[in-house]
Amino acid sequence: MQHIFYSWQADTPSATCKNLIGRALQDAIDTLNADAEIEGADRHEDPRAAILDHDTAGVPGSPPIVETIFRKIDGAAIFISDLTYVAERRDGRRSPNPNVLFEHGWAWKSLSWRAVISVMNIAHGDPKNHPLPFDLQHSRGPILFDCPDDATVEQRRAARAGLAKALVPKLRAIFDDDVLKAARVPAAPVEPHPHDLELVKRWQALLTEPVRRFLREQNFGDVYVRKNVDALHEINDTWRGAKFEFDDPELQRAFQEFLAANAPFCRQLVERTYVLDNNAALASPKTTVDQQRGIQQSTFKAIERLNELATLLNDAIDAFERQIRARIRLPLEPSSRRAPEIDPRWDSARQGLVKLATDRTIGGVPRIVSRPCFVMMVVPLAAFEGERLAPASVTEAQLRFPPDPHIRIEEGSDARQWWVCALPESKGGPNPETAWLARIVRPGLLEAQVNIGARIDDDSDIIIDGGWLERHIVGWYERLCRGLAPLGLAGPGIVGLSLHGTEDVILMRSRPGGRKIVMPEIHLATLEVADLSEPIAPALQEAFDIMWQASGWRDGSPSYGSGTWSGYSAHDASAARG
């Protein structure tokens, strides 16, 4: 909270000077506070606020008056003096109150002329006719108002309103003065408070570069990865109370501005984005109505607001980071303890996974695969190294995708992808459907969609051997990944796996049991894989558990009883890899 020090005099009637000026000042301050255009520094108050102060007000006990006044002036943001004439010399010259002049001079020296304002009731003498003391004649004159001692209530009210109106732009100009702003910033502590150090480290551990890059680059008209905003929600939900306040007032001010930008962004995410049915790791502001009828006007506004709030939040993060650099020096950890750098390709791969998933809702997949089916997406990190995909290499890789080299296939391409699929057939709907499709999407993303069963006659259930389905999934993964080397895409990457059209599917096994899955879509896994050429089955145990449990098998997958996946036995492996 910033202080405006008012130096008053009591030689003239209070109703037309001291009280009138004081109330006009308070009116002007209230206007500024309501406009929220004042910078502040106190960490326990609204940083955009100011209060009126004078003499020894608010100081307990019996303080020495002069020392207290000087100390208050030194700590004030603005000094205002009443230079109304209160005396006349023998030669006819008039003079303001000597104590006010003394305090005015002290403020000039302590705060500089930039932060000093004076006012004057010319009913007791106009400086045009009665010049001010010599040292005051060479600076901007006081704000003048005219209110005689015998003024009526209406006249005093009008004088007060006019003075308040004149004070507002003067006060605002001082608060907005860049030189004074810099002077008001307290010096950075020689040694940062240990609490501040620890809090900064915690903040930086949460607000990593991928999170900041997400805020800078994400267009919320697209699907986004929910994990990217977890840290922002954590801070918004749990960073409350003195434990999360900085001791340094400038750090706290910048941190409060970050919190003020983060809260509406998180609130908008909660209120206007929705988890995707087919992938709980993703979310979008688009509703079912948007998908059926086109994007509604309310959704356009929500997307625009999210993008706007993300920009404001990113700016607040940058401002806080600059304050951290200016006011605190974080000790470097020994190199052996330094956290490993985050490979930015992982974040690009997550975004690539989102784009593949989005294709299914915007018609980006070139052929319709019969339901039920599984969808497998493989996003190599090497795809984001800027290398060109050579069409000849793509053709070579696609030869490895068909499950049977002797079957007839369809091949095709468009501006952004190549694909190979089983020959499409009419299924009674408006469009032909295919049993499987594998595609390579620039800059090197792979996807397979594979039908896993069909309804027999008019049976309401689709019965699928769950063990066969596990082997089918693993076999397709290996086929896709065998195509990576010719493309120069070997190495680490992200794998996404989901089931679609499964509401009538029942998984069967060697003993009775199971029920309809009921859910039309199931997200099984999003995996970060260190080497895409390595066997995937060990990493799929939880995904297969989810798949079995969705069909009523409480014990999950039966294929890991020995500690390893049983599908890698010689017979099953040959069947899966045929």
Lowest mean pLDDT among 84-93, 184-193, 258-267, 399-408: 184-193
Within 10 angstroms of residue 381's Cβ, the number of other Cβ atoms is 22
Q: To which residue do tokens 């939040």 refer?
A: 313
On whether both 280 and 147 belong to a single domain, the answer is no
Query: Residue 160: which CATH number?
Result: 3.40.50.10350
Distance CA 259, CA 279 (A): 30
Domain carrying residue 101: 2-184
pLDDT at 577 > cutoff 50: no
On whether both 375 and 520 belong to a single domain, the answer is yes
Identity of residue 69 = I
What is the arithmetic mean of pLDDT over 267-276?
90
Last residue of a domain, one of 332, 364, 395: 332
- Contact yes or no for 5/107 (Cβ under 8 A): yes
pLDDT of 547 reads 95
Residue 282 lies in a domain: yes
- Mapped onto helix, strand or coil, the DSSP state of residue 314 is helix
- Long-range contacts formed by 410-418: CB under 8 A, 24+ apart: 410/367, 410/434, 412/366, 414/366, 416/441, 416/442, 417/366, 417/441, 417/442, 418/391, 418/394
User: Minimal CA–CA distance to 338: which of 205, 198, 191, 196?
Assistant: 205
Residue-wise pLDDT for 547-567, tens only, equals 999 999 999 999 998 889 998
Residue 273 lies in a domain: yes
Collect all residues with Cβ–Cβ distance below 8 Å to 70 and sequence separation of at least 6: 106, 110
Tallying the residues shown for the chain, one arrives at 578
Burial of 356 (0-12, 13-18, 19+ CB in 10 A): buried
- Contact yes or no for 196/204 (Cβ under 8 A): no
On whether both 377 and 397 belong to a single domain, the answer is yes
On whether both 29 and 164 belong to a single domain, the answer is yes
Per mean pLDDT, which of 43-52, 146-155, 404-413 is the most reliable?
146-155
Instruction: Identify the DSSP state of 4.
Output: E
- Phi and psi dihedrals of 37, rounded to 5? -120, 25
pLDDT over 90 for what percent of the chain?
54
Virtual CA dihedral for 468, 473, 478, 480, nearest 10 degrees? 140
pLDDT of 123 reads 94
On whether both 95 and 233 belong to a single domain, the answer is no
User: Minimal CA–CA distance to 214: which of 3, 429, 206, 288?
Assistant: 206
pLDDT at 451 > cutoff 70: yes
pLDDT of 52 reads 63
Distance CA 252, CA 150 (A): 50
pTM: 0.52
What is the arithmetic mean of pLDDT over 333-344?
54
On whether both 176 and 226 belong to a single domain, the answer is no
- Contact yes or no for 51/30 (Cβ under 8 A): no
Residue-wise pLDDT for 48-96, tens only, equals 455 666 666 666 666 777 888 888 888 888 899 999 999 988 888 899 9
Cα→Cα distances 37→40, 172, 174, 190, 282, Å: 10, 8, 11, 31, 39
pLDDT of 50 reads 59
On whether both 106 and 143 belong to a single domain, the answer is yes
On whether both 557 and 486 belong to a single domain, the answer is yes
pLDDT of 258 reads 96
Distance CA 175, CA 77 (A): 8
On whether both 353 and 225 belong to a single domain, the answer is no
pLDDT of 58 reads 66
Distance CA 248, CA 66 (A): 30
Lowest mean pLDDT among 359-368, 464-473, 477-486: 359-368
Average pLDDT over the chain reads 86
pLDDT at 450 > cutoff 90: yes
SS (H, E, C) 27-75: HHHHHHHHHCCCCCCCCCCCCCCEEEECCCCCCCCCCCHHHHHHHHHHH
Distance CA 476, CA 483 (A): 11
pLDDT at 114 > cutoff 90: no
pLDDT over 70 for what percent of the chain?
88
Question: Where does the pLDDT of residue 133 fall: very low under 50, low under 70, confident under 90, or very high at 90 and above?
Answer: confident
Question: Where does the pLDDT of residue 38 fall: very low under 50, low under 70, confident under 90, or very high at 90 and above?
Answer: very low
On whether both 410 and 370 belong to a single domain, the answer is yes
Residue-wise pLDDT for 146-195, tens only, equals 999 999 999 999 999 999 999 999 988 888 877 766 666 566 666 788 89
Q: To which residue do tokens 């230079």 refer?
A: 83
On whether both 101 and 163 belong to a single domain, the answer is yes
Last residue of a domain, one of 137, 166, 184: 184
pLDDT of 61 reads 61
If one compares 281 and 180, the residue with the highest pLDDT of the two is 281
If one compares 35 and 174, the residue with the highest pLDDT of the two is 174
pLDDT of 325 reads 87
If one compares 344 and 436, the residue with the highest pLDDT of the two is 436
Instruction: Identify the DSSP state of 410.
Output: E
Question: Where does the pLDDT of residue 338 fall: very low under 50, low under 70, confident under 90, or very high at 90 and above?
Answer: very low
Question: Where does the pLDDT of residue 37 fall: very low under 50, low under 70, confident under 90, or very high at 90 and above?
Answer: very low
Residue 337 lies in a domain: no
Domain count of the fold of the chain: 3
pLDDT at 312 > cutoff 80: yes
Question: Where does the pLDDT of residue 219 fall: very low under 50, low under 70, confident under 90, or very high at 90 and above?
Answer: confident
Distance CA 296, CA 285 (A): 11
Lowest mean pLDDT among 299-308, 309-318, 338-347: 338-347
The b/e string for 438-460 (b: 16+ C-beta within 10 A; e otherwise) is bbbbebbbbbbbbbbbeeeeeee
pLDDT at 468 > cutoff 70: yes
Question: Where does the pLDDT of residue 35 fall: very low under 50, low under 70, confident under 90, or very high at 90 and above?
Answer: low
pLDDT of 574 reads 44
pLDDT of 510 reads 87
pLDDT of 18 reads 92
What is the arithmetic mean of pLDDT over 307-332?
87
Residue 340 lies in a domain: no
Virtual CA dihedral for 391, 396, 398, 404, nearest 10 degrees? 160
Residue 8 lies in a domain: yes
If one compares 483 and 188, the residue with the highest pLDDT of the two is 483
If one compares 27 and 578, the residue with the highest pLDDT of the two is 27
- Contact yes or no for 124/85 (Cβ under 8 A): yes
pLDDT of 293 reads 79
Residue 480 lies in a domain: yes
Residue 86 lies in a domain: yes
- Mapped onto helix, strand or coil, the DSSP state of residue 152 is coil
pLDDT at 387 > cutoff 80: yes
- Contact yes or no for 86/124 (Cβ under 8 A): yes
- Mapped onto helix, strand or coil, the DSSP state of residue 433 is strand
Q: To which residue do tokens 């304050």 refer?
A: 323
On whether both 100 and 179 belong to a single domain, the answer is yes
pLDDT at 46 > cutoff 50: no
Within 10 angstroms of residue 44's Cβ, the number of other Cβ atoms is 9
Burial of 535 (0-12, 13-18, 19+ CB in 10 A): middle
User: Minimal CA–CA distance to 47: which of 195, 261, 250, 183?
Assistant: 250
Question: Where does the pLDDT of residue 572 fall: very low under 50, low under 70, confident under 90, or very high at 90 and above?
Answer: very low
Question: Where does the pLDDT of residue 420 fall: very low under 50, low under 70, confident under 90, or very high at 90 and above?
Answer: very high
Q: To which residue do tokens 């063990």 refer?
A: 467
Lowest mean pLDDT among 247-251, 330-334, 557-561: 330-334
Residue 227 lies in a domain: yes
pLDDT at 43 > cutoff 90: no
- Long-range contacts formed by 395-402: CB under 8 A, 24+ apart: 396/486, 397/440, 397/483, 397/484, 397/486, 397/487, 398/438, 398/440, 398/483, 400/479, 400/482, 400/483, 401/438, 401/448, 401/479, 401/480, 401/483
What is the arithmetic mean of pLDDT over 497-501?
93
Distance CA 241, CA 232 (A): 17
Question: Where does the pLDDT of residue 36 fall: very low under 50, low under 70, confident under 90, or very high at 90 and above?
Answer: very low
Concatenate the DSSP letters of all residues of 438-450 into one string: EEEETTTEEEEEE
